[in-house]
Amino acid sequence: LDKFVIIAAGGRGERMHAGTPKQFILLSDKPILMHTLSIFPLAIPSIHIILILPADQIAIWKKLCKKYSFDIPHQITEGGRDRFYSVRNGLELIGDQCLAGIHDGVRPLVSCETIINAFDEAEKYGNAIPAIPIIESVRSIGNNVSHPVKRDTLRIIQTPQVFHSSLIKKAYKQKYRSDFTDDATVIEALGEKIHLINGNFENIKITSQNDLIIAEALLKNRLI
């Protein structure tokens, strides 16, 4: 099956540097988003990359690509008013008989192993959702009390979440719901069973200044 990855890069970075969308912030030698795009062809050389950007960031991105001589082939399309509509725009560019991964632009540290495994398992099971255990103690809060939760029953969910394209395209024809917190929850609303696979611990979502510091350190120590 043909393999696509939709990279959702709609964030505006309010939590970090005023002005610079977080996916354009420098991580080591180049913008975060360039690291993210670069890892996919390393894992799957034939993969097609679809990058979704807010309309007003497309020209900036193209300038950055020139500045950094960034030559990973990718198709660019415009985002919608939030992530759900952005991903839907991206899915319109993909046929019914392929595998579609959906990945956060600010997760540059996904491993090749996670990517390869996600596409392989999605081909077998229809979907593959990377997840990692929680190491620390967890409590659940509500109504002014809290109680302990068995941490071994919890998983932190990552991306890329990979699907048979016919399934995810069908799922994204549904009306938007506020409990669609990721793509897995969108296909779940069709009655599909979620297939969790192992993610990698380094695959953090960069949303704060601390995350950026952590990502720099992990990148420096990464063995690709």
Q: Rounded distance, CA 214 to CA 220, Å?
A: 10
Shortest distance (Å) from residue 138 CB to a copy of itself: 6
Site for a copy of itself in 125-154 (CB under 8 A): 131, 134-142, 145-146, 148-149, 151, 153-154
Q: Is 60 in the site for a copy of itself (CB under 8 A)?
A: no
Start-to-end CA distance of the chain, whole Å, equals: 25
Q: How far is the CB of 142 from a copy of itself (least distance, A)?
A: 6
What is the rounded distance in angstroms from the CA atom of residue 102 to the CA atom of residue 169? 12
Kindly state whether residue 25 participates in binding a copy of itself, applying the rule CB under 8 A.
Answer: no
Nearest to 219 by CA among 107, 140, 117, 96: 107
DSSP-based three-state secondary structure for 87: helix
Q: How many CA atoms lie within 13 A of 32 on its CB side?
A: 31
Contact status: 190 vs a copy of itself (CB under 8 A): no
97/209 with CB nearer a copy of itself: 209
Site for a copy of itself in 152-181 (CB under 8 A): 153-158, 179, 181
CB 176 within 8 A of CB 108: no
Helix axes 58-67, 32-43, angle to 10 degrees: 70
> Tokens 């990517």 — which residue?
115
Q: Which is nearer to a copy of itself, 65 or 199 (CB)?
A: 199
* Of 26-34, 59-67, 82-90, 213-221: span binding a copy of itself (CB under 8 A): 213-221
Which residues contribute to the site for a copy of itself (CB under 8 A)?
131, 134-142, 145-146, 148-149, 151, 153-158, 179, 181-182, 184-185, 188, 193-194, 196, 201-202, 205, 207-208, 210, 213-214, 216-218, 221
